[in-house]
């Protein structure tokens, strides 16, 4: 490794000239000068002759094929927005504002008529990542995917899974609620 950390830089800070270095990741070039495009560590890579800026706390990136856990942030007519909190098998969390969308056609192997019957805002969902660029797309088709913790629409307590009826039950309010329930419902330890 011939990389050496020069210093911490802020976006827009001049880091060198294009005669000395190539403009690498996290930088941009303008009129012969190279500038930092983000906060981070400035690195001059002697092998590639690149000047680049690496983020200070590299976050875990979501990749296609990953299995993620997140909570339902917003429900629209044909899709829900899920805030991704964790990738299965990866102990470190993801950046707080990573969101993915789940389209109504990707909810279940069966036809989904109305997302209101499948998810409530706040529910914790296990989903797989089907696309990361330009936006993260998710799917909950398959038995192990879907809601792993659902909250009561009345009292907001976590609901119990009634396997026999394939629905959720609130012991507090004595009401039932439908969801796209994962076969892992109630079996996964979550921090929230
Ligand atoms: Zn309740």
Domains in the chain with CATH codes: 4-54 (2.40.50.100), 67-177 (2.40.50.140)
Confidence of residue 143 (pLDDT cuts 50, 70, 90): very high
Tens digit of each residue's pLDDT (9 = 90 or more) over 23-76: 999 999 999 999 999 888 899 998 899 999 987 655 678 899 999 999 999 999
Peptide bond into 134 cis (omega under 30): yes
Residue 19 CA to ligand 1 centre (angstroms):
67
Please give the pLDDT value at position 55. 76
In what order do the strands lie in the sheet containing 33-36? 14-17, 33-36, 27-30
Residue 100 CA to ligand 1 centre (angstroms):
28
In what order do the strands lie in the sheet containing 40-45? 4-9, 40-45, 50-54, 22-23
Please give the pLDDT value at position 86. 86
Tens digit of each residue's pLDDT (9 = 90 or more) over 105-116: 999 999 989 999
Please give the pLDDT value at position 168. 96
Please give the pLDDT value at position 1. 46
Query: Could you count the other beta carbons within 10 Å of the beta carbon of residue 127?
Result: 28
Residue 161 CA to ligand 1 centre (angstroms):
13
Please give the pLDDT value at position 94. 77
Q: Is the pLDDT of residue 184 over 80?
A: yes
Mean pLDDT of the chain: 89
Confidence of residue 7 (pLDDT cuts 50, 70, 90): confident
Q: Which of 127, 144, 145 minimizes the C-alpha distance to 136?
A: 127
Tens digit of each residue's pLDDT (9 = 90 or more) over 87-106: 888 776 676 678 999 999 99
Residue 111 CA to ligand 1 centre (angstroms):
28
Tens digit of each residue's pLDDT (9 = 90 or more) over 119-129: 999 999 999 99
Residue 152 CA to ligand 1 centre (angstroms):
5
Please give the pLDDT value at position 39. 81
Residue 175 CA to ligand 1 centre (angstroms):
7
Residue 155 CA to ligand 1 centre (angstroms):
4
Please give the pLDDT value at position 4. 62
Residue 72 CA to ligand 1 centre (angstroms):
18
Q: Which range, 79-83, 91-95, 184-188, has the best average confidence (pLDDT)?
A: 79-83
Residue 177 CA to ligand 1 centre (angstroms):
10
């Amino acid at each position: 490794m011939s990389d050496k950390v020069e210093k911490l830089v802020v976006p827009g800070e001049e880091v060198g000239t294009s005669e000395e270095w190539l403009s690498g990741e996290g930088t941009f070039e303008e009129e012969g000068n190279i500038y930092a495009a983000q906060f981070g560590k400035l690195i001059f890579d002697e092998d590639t002759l690149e000047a680049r800026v690496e983020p200070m706390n590299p976050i875990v990136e979501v990749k296609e094929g990953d299995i993620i856990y997140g909570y339902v942030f917003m429900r629209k007519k044909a899709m829900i927005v899920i805030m991704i909190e964790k990738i299965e098998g990866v102990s470190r969390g993801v950046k707080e504002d990573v969101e993915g969308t789940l389209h109504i056609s990707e909810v279940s192997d069966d036809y989904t008529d109305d997302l209101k019957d499948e998810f409530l805002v706040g529910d914790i969902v296990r989903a797989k990542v089907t696309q990361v660029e330009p936006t993260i797309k998710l799917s909950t088709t398959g038995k192990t995917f879907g809601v792993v913790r659902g909250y009561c629409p009345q009292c907001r307590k976590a609901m119990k899974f009634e396997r026999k009826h394939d629905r959720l039950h609130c012991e507090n309010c004595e009401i039932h609620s439908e969801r796209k329930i994962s076969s892992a419902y109630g079996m996964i330890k979550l921090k929230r």
